[in-house]
Chain A
Amino acid sequence: MTSRWDALWPAREPSEDFALRVVVESVQARARSKSRVRWLFAAIVPSLCLALATGVSFRRHQEDASKRAAILEAQRKETEDRLRRLQSEFEAAVRHERELQLSLANANDEVVRTKLQSELEQQRARMQAAGRSVRSGAGSAVGWVPAAKKASKCSPGDPLCGK
């Protein structure tokens, strides 16, 4: 640009090697930019991989935790059910013992009394076993199955039966 303004108000002239310095600076700037992009890439890719691995691991951990929680909840419900059943069986046994005691108190026949006495002792033994199980809590109650009432092999009135 050569206007007459330049004659009146001259502007600063660029140095002779200005264009050359700009070319060198541009080339260097481009190289720096490429290098920066490479470094950025080198920093970002491992960070992304790490973040992804952490995310997957965290998700798996969450899933495992929820599965474990579900299993524990099911076990807790099962234990509670079993405990309720044992308590109800124990209460039935207590009622039965009371009935036997009442019958024993009212019985006049010696044979009947002996039989009732024997039955009462067996009932007490069963109750003690059941009571221990119930009192020891849900943990020890797990897996406990009340003994089925065995069919008596004794002949009626046998005084040695059940001892």
Chain B
Amino acid sequence: MVAAPASPKACTVTRHPEIQASVIEQCQQGNPAAIHAFVQHHQRLVFAFLGRLLGENAAVEDLAQEVFVRAIRALPRFDVRGTARVSTWLLTIASRLVLDEKRRAPQTSMTLELGYSPSVPSDNPEAIRHRKELGQALSQAVGRLSHEQREAFILAEIHGLSMEELAEITRVAVGTAKARLSRARERLREVLGPLWEEFQ
């Protein structure tokens, strides 16, 4: 029996769980153990964002390290009791760092590839193959989007950020953020064709 391919609910988003305020307070005081815990808690989020935005061939690890170094330097000014989420704040730093990098060394095109084999819970070879094909098609289609559209798609669709958070991170009006996401979806629908329906 062939396992069902990615169903309409396949791409549900689980938001990154927030770290305890007490850990951040310890980080603000320069406690290395707390800083270590802070980085461990958020490293997959930052790697996921940078890896999907820039592709696996880019210097994702160097950029991720720079994101955390900047964040740790700026952490004493972060309001733990405020409304801002640390994960959103880290994604903001990452987004601006990527923009800085792009300004410094502009790239005309980008190829996003699956650098790792998808972890599939099922042992069914057909399901594995289908998911792999789907993942490759998606990553290649996202790689053909403009940087702004790709960023909007990754932040909103994959990281589950709200339009307000997306607008704040990308420093645009909410309307512009919505338009970028809408254009990204439209473009992906064009490129992926029937495969796109499987994500919806």
Contacts and interface: CB of A to CB of B under 8 A. Distances in A.
Contacts of A21: 65
Interface in B6-54: 6, 10-17, 30, 32, 35-36, 39-40, 43-45, 47-49, 51-52
Contact of A3 (B12, B39, B131): B12
Contact of A1 (B11, B45, B116, B118): B45
Contacts of B167: none
A18 B65 contact: yes
Nearest to A33: B73
B14 A26 contact: no
A15 B44 CA distance: 10
Contacts of A4: 6, 10-12
A39 interface: no
B14 A1 contact: yes
B69 A26 contact: yes
Given A4-B10, A25-B65, A9 B40 contact: no
Interface on chain A toward B: helix, strand, loop, or mixed SS? helix
Contacts of A6: 48, 119
Given A2-B14, A13-B116, A19 B39 contact: yes
A46 interface: no
Contacts of A2: 14
Given A8-B135, A9-B52, A14-B43, A23 B32 contact: yes
B13 A5 contact: yes
A12 B72 contact: no
B158 interface: yes
B73 A18 contact: no
B79 interface: no
Contacts of B69: 22, 25-26, 29
A23 B35 contact: yes
Contacts of A9: 52, 114, 118, 135, 138-139, 158
A7 interface: yes
Contacts of B49: 11
A30 B72 CA distance: 10
Contacts of B40: 19
B135 A1 contact: no
A3 B73 contact: no
A1 B12 contact: no
A148 interface: no
5 contacts: A3-B12, A10-B117, A14-B61, A18-B65, A22-B72
Interface of A: 1-15, 18-23, 25-27, 29-30, 33
Interface of B: 6, 10-17, 30, 32, 35-36, 39-40, 43-45, 47-49, 51-52, 56, 60-61, 64-65, 68-69, 72-73, 114-121, 131, 134-135, 138-139, 157-160
Given A4-B10, A7-B121, A20-B36, 9 more contacts: A8-B138, A9-B139, A11-B47, A12-B51, A14-B47, A19-B40, A22-B68, A23-B39, A26-B72
